[in-house]
Amino acid sequence: MAQVIQGVFPTPKKATDSKQDKSVPSYILHISITFSDPLIWRKIQIPGTCTLADLHDVIQTSMGWSDSHLHQFIVGKISYEPTIPTNGPRVSKRFDEEKYQLHTLVDGMKFLFSYIYDAGGGWEHEIHLEEVVSATKPLGRPFILAGERACPPEYVGDIHEYQRLITASEDPASKDFHRLYEITGRPDFDPGLFDLENAKKRIQLL
């Protein structure tokens, strides 16, 4: 997992009231799994009042992950993670993702924005801020707008292993020909398929 890099730290942003919410824009984000080829990606629109913790939920749901592993965000030069309750002294100096709303992090989002879902080697997601949507068009909840290709199986270590399994599944002579389908438990698993309408329904349940 990436470490905290020293820099100018943002000030935590508390929940806004309804009047302030109306002045906060929403963001269109393009989220892709780094090194995937062809690219595995989703495009979402999310209110600027949402926190990084909210964005985590949206990424998990839109991609198709099950939130079974640790994760972190890198925004600008800062690492943000969920705070794990403990009775002992807190040793981590990383920033709590629940305390930072997206509209307070725009400068960092434009510089470096990534999400790491650690299932072994780790699934790194590159997040690109495509558009800032004016607050004159208020957004009450996140939406998924588009996407391509299926979410990789949860317990494949990383994108490189996943792409090796895809290659093997296309070669009947390979000893790993059936491995991808054994892992998913779905003989009809199609790496190229993304069901946008189903993803929209999952997002609506958040």
Instruction: Give pLDDT, residue 5.
Output: 44
Among candidates 80, 73, 202, 68, which has minimal Cα distance to 141?
202
Query: Quick one: tokens of 60?
Result: 């998990």
Q: What is the pTM of this model?
A: 0.86
Compute CA distances 134 → 24, 47, 48, 60, 131, whole Å: 8, 11, 10, 26, 9
Q: In the CATH scheme, what is the homologous superfamily, with its name and number, of domain 20-151+194-204? A: MM3350-like (3.10.290.30)
- How much is the pLDDT for 87? 60
According to DSSP, the β-strands at 78-81 and 70-75 are antiparallel
What are 94-127's pLDDT values in tens digits? 799 999 999 999 999 999 999 999 866 789 999 9
* pLDDT score of 21: 63
Residue 89's pLDDT is: 55
Three-state secondary structure of the chain: CCCCCCCCCCCCCCCCCHHHHCCCCEEEEEEEECCCCCCCEEEEEEECCCEHHHHHHHHHHHHCCCCCCEEEEEECCEEEECCCCCCCCCCCCCEEHHHCEHHHCHHHHHHCEEEEEECCCCEEEEEEEEEEECCCCCCCCCEEEEEECCCCCCCCCCHHHHHHHHHHHCCCCCCCCCHHHHHHCCCCCCCCCCCHHHHHHHHHCC
pLDDT under 70: residue ranges of the chain: 1-22, 85-93, 119-120
pLDDT for 155 equals 85
Through-space distance between the first and last CA atoms of the chain, rounded to whole angstroms: 27
| Calpha distance 41→151 (Å, rounded) | 9
Are 164 and 127 within 8 A, CB to CB? no
